[in-house]
């Protein structure tokens, strides 16, 4: 046995090693794979930062170009004052200027106040704009010693005139400080590598050329990354994104390589340490388990050597009796004797339980908080647990005292059902009612009961229980509420617009369709949690704006609808402008300043037929919303029959 025990111990060690080696190999492979995944994730994060910022910067740049195209298409630039007024309305700084140039003419036809003479770069830009239907942009140049960029649009399809907008780089593109984190430095350059905007010390570096411009161009891609050497000997990793509709403008994000590596190496180190600790604990646990497995064998070996005894066998010979096994046999015999004694006692109890079998079967259907019994006339004979529920002693609930705690709206229904039960024992009681609890609140309870018959099959008494179903009732009410409301903002959802849209009193009204501008950029750049908080803030502002007679609905995503009890189109326009002004104000979300806008489409409810087809009204409002966005966003537009005929 001793030799066998030593052999088994050896086999257990070999088994543990055989089990640990594949796990260790798999762990090493997993750590390598996780390390590569973390590094790729960190690099993708930097690429996403540059892509998102690039798309946001290009969107703002194209938005400004769209405003310039709209101004050029209107042709309302008869004087220098009209150019100054447009610069003021669009929020341009005093350092910006606007000039109207004609093909082949060096001096401008019109120019805003303080506009310097056009430079050759601006004249060349105007020449390019005459041969392009889209806005064109210049590289960075210096005007009167100050860095500037220009954009140019043709005044009309057949016009020989070009509007040239010149502005500081900060007016064209910008990088908010909140868009950088974790030591990442971000810059925007023109197509020749000169800095247009920078996330830190922008005034110092605007107009200078980035030192690693040649490395960026060597990548030969619109989006990618590369590593470079700093002047102080440190290494930096860069990611970049080229703005497609500009003359080679690029968003570049740089981070020290040691910080970049620390971001993905730290969790990998934690994983390795945790794996080693888990492996050590597993080894200790396996050693302990093997020792426990071997202990009974060692004890059995000792018993066979020193603790055995002999007894006479039935065959007249001697048999080896092991002491531990004999003790186990005696213990099992004593346990069996105790079980037989318990079974005899249970048979005596069974006779006593038979008399109350029907009562126990009735009560088994309800795990009650309150048990009650009524006589054949419906008067309470006993109530157990009433004091814990209602605060009054059980005795006060006897006879008809319990009815005083029933909600008045439910008492009549309960009495009506009880009257039927007292005359027909084939009915069972099952009713839900509200009872006043000891703290004065009402809780929903479910009363269930059944008749107990005497030998003559007549009703001798009623037995029943009260179950607390308040949580279920509240859950049902919550489900009903969620079916009609948006769980994020608490506003009504679009299911309320599936019925005919009507205003209070059947008066004229308006349906306003809202869509948030720049919400996607905020959601992609700052994360979905910030986007959800922003939607809740928008919903709160809408509640503050509207009257009790108006209805606001979240349609989904960043779209909302308002059913306004409007007396006129002017009232609807006034509300739309208030909504635009209020929702365009800055938001403070988790310590970050967020700026968005909103566009509004309006469909008026002027005909009785308008209240019968919500889908038609929504389509009209949606077409008006599309028209508002086409006009430059941050404005409202009414649905007209011209829009409807155009869509067809």
With a cut of 80, say whether residue 489 has pLDDT above it.
yes
What gap in Å lies between CA 481 and CA 535, rounded to an integer?
A: 20
Q: Are 541 and 444 found together in one domain? A: no
pLDDT single digits (tens) 143-174: 888 899 999 998 877 788 898 889 898 888 87
Of residues 89 and 325, which shows the higher confidence score? 89
Per the structure, the count of domains in the chain is: 3
As given in the structure block, the two tokens for residue 80 are 């220098």
What residue has token string 């310097």?
A: 116
With a cut of 60, say whether residue 319 has pLDDT above it.
no
Q: Are 148 and 270 found together in one domain? A: yes
Q: Are 97 and 221 found together in one domain? A: yes
Q: What is the pLDDT of residue 249?
A: 92
Q: Please provide the average confidence, as pLDDT, over all residues in the chain.
A: 77
pLDDT single digits (tens) 237-256: 888 999 998 888 999 988 88
Q: Are 634 and 497 found together in one domain? A: yes
Q: Are 510 and 441 found together in one domain? A: no
> Which residues, 6+ apart, have CB-to-CB distance to 601 below 8 Å?
512, 513, 621, 622, 623, 624, 625, 626, 627, 628, 636, 637, 639
Q: What is the pLDDT of residue 388?
A: 64
Q: What is the pLDDT of residue 294?
A: 59
Which domain-ending residue is among 248, 274, 300?
Answer: 274
Q: What is the pLDDT of residue 579?
A: 93
What residue has token string 């805003």?
A: 112
Residue 357 in domain:
no
Q: Is the Cα dihedral 374, 380, 382, 387 positive or negative?
A: positive
Lowest-pLDDT range, 28-37, 118-127, 210-219? 28-37
DSSP result, 488-526:
TT--BBGGGGGSPP--GGG--EEEEEEEEESHHHHHHHH
Of residues 223 and 481, which shows the higher confidence score? 223
Lowest-pLDDT range, 103-117, 219-233, 364-378? 364-378
Mean pLDDT on 514-530: 90
Band (pLDDT 50/70/90 cuts) for residue 309 is very low
Per the structure, the complete domain to which residue 640 belongs is given by 485-647
- Tell me the CATH number at 601: 3.30.70.270
With contact defined as beta carbons under 8 Å apart, do 465 and 368 qualify? yes
Q: What is the pLDDT of residue 368?
A: 46
pLDDT single digits (tens) 181-225: 556 788 899 988 899 888 888 788 888 888 888 888 888 888 998
- Tell me the CATH number at 451: 3.30.450.20
pLDDT single digits (tens) 599-648: 999 998 865 544 557 788 889 999 999 999 998 888 999 988 888 776 54
Residue 526 in domain:
yes
């Amino acid at each position: 046995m001793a030799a066998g025990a030593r052999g088994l111990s050896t086999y257990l060690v070999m088994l543990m090693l055989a089990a640990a080696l594949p796990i260790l190999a798999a762990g090493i492979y997993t750590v390598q794979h996780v390390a590569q995944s973390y590094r790729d994730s960190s690099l993708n994060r930097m690429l996403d930062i540059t892509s998102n910022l690039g798309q946001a910067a290009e969107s703002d740049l194209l938005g400004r170009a769209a405003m310039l195209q709209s101004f050029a298409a209107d042709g309302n630039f008869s004087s220098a004052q009209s150019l100054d007024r447009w610069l003021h309305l669009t929020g341009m700084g005093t350092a910006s200027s606007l000039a109207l140039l004609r093909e082949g003419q060096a001096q401008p036809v019109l120019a805003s106040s303080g506009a310097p003479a056009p430079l050759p770069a601006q004249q060349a830009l105007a020449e390019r704009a005459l041969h392009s239907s889209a806005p064109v942009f210049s590289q960075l140049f210096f005007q009167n010693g100050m860095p500037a960029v220009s954009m140019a649009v043709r005044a009309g399809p057949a016009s020989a005139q070009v509007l040239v907008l010149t502005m500081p780089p900060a007016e064209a593109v910008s990088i908010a400080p909140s868009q950088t984190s974790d030591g990442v430095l971000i810059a925007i350059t023109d197509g020749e590598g000169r800095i247009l905007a920078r996330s830190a010390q922008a005034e110092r570096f605007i107009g200078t050329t980035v030192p690693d411009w040649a490395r960026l161009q060597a990548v030969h891609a619109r989006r990618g990354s590369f590593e470079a050497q700093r002047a102080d000997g440190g290494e930096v990793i860069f990611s970049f994104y080229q703005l497609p509709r500009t003359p080679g403008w690029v968003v570049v994000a740089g981070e020290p390589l040691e910080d970049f590596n620390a971001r993905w190496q730290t969790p990998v180190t934690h994983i390795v340490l945790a794996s080693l600790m888990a492996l050590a604990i597993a080894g200790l646990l396996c050693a302990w388990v093997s020792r426990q497995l071997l202990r009974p064998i060692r004890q059995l070996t000792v018993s066979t050597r020193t603790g055995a005894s002999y007894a006479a066998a039935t065959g007249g010979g001697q048999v080896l009796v092991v002491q531990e096994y004999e003790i186990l046999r005696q213990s099992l015999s004593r346990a069996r004797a105790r079980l037989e004694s318990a079974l005899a006692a249970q048979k005596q109890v069974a006779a006593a339980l038979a008399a109350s079998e029907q009562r126990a079967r009735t009560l088994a259907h309800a795990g009650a908080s309150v048990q009650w019994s009524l006589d054949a006339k419906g008067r309470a004979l006993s109530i157990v647990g009433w004091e814990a529920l209602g605060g009054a002693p059980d005795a006060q609930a006897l006879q008809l005292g319990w009815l005083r705690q029933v909600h008045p709206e439910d008492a009549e229904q309960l009495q009506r059902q009880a009257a039927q039960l007292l005359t027909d024992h084939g009915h069972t009681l099952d009713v839900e009612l509200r009872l006043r609890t000891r703290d004065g609140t009402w809780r929903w309870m479910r009363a269930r009961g059944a008749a107990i018959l005497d030998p003559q099959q007549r009703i001798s008494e009623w037995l029943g229980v009260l179950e607390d179903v308040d949580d279920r009732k509240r859950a049902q009410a919550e489900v009903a509420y969620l079916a009609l409301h948006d769980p994020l903002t608490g506003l009504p959802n679009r299911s309320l617009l599936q019925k005919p849209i009507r205003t209070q009193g059947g008066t004229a009204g308006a349906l306003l369709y809202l869509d948030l501008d720049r919400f996607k950029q905020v959601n992609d750049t700052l994360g979905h949690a910030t986007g959800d908080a922003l939607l809740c803030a928008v919903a709160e502002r809408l509640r503050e704006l509207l009257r009790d007679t108006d209805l606001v609905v979240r349609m989904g995503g960043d779209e909302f609808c308002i059913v306004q009890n409007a007396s006129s189109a002017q009232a609807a326009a006034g509300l739309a402008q208030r909504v635009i002004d209020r929702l365009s104000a800055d938001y403070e979300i988790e310590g970050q300043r967020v700026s968005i806008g909103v566009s509004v489409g309006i469909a008026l409810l002027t005909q009785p037929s308008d209240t019968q087809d919500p889908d038609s009204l929504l389509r009209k409002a949606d077409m008006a919303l599309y028209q508002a966005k086409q006009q430059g966003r941050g404005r409202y537009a009414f649905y007209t029959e011209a829009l409807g005929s155009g869509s067809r």
